[in-house]
Amino acid sequence: MAHLASESKREQFRRYLEKSGVLDTLTSVLVALFEEPEKPNNALDFIKLHLGAAGPEPADTEALRTELADLQQKCSELMEENKELRINGYSKEEGLSRKCSLVYHLIAC
């Protein structure tokens, strides 16, 4: 009786995996590994890579790190510029007033 319950649970689990696409995905990755002319040294890394669990490629990672560093530098520069403007008494209202004056002058001409 316990054997039948165990078989039933296994069958339910198999149907679950099949319905969710896990079996098809694993099968296609294993077929790709099988058809690989030169077998990789680490089959698990191959599987992870083909399942998308390995993360971004090293070139992508380096490009993202460079972009992050550039953006952090730009942010620091803008923060410093903002700080200097505040210290020198430049307020948003003054800036808006100057812009309005310029627009008014351009319209009047």
Write down the domain spans for the chain. Answer: 1-55, 57-108
Please check the confidence at residue 56 and state whether its pLDDT lies above 70: no
Please check the confidence at residue 93 and state whether its pLDDT lies above 70: no
With contact defined as beta carbons under 8 Å apart, do 68 and 76 qualify? no
Nearest to 46 by CA among 21, 28, 19: 28
What is the rounded average pLDDT of the residues 77-101? 75
What is the pTM for the complete model shown?
0.44
CA distance 74 to 70: 6
Tokens (6 digits) for 95: 């800036």
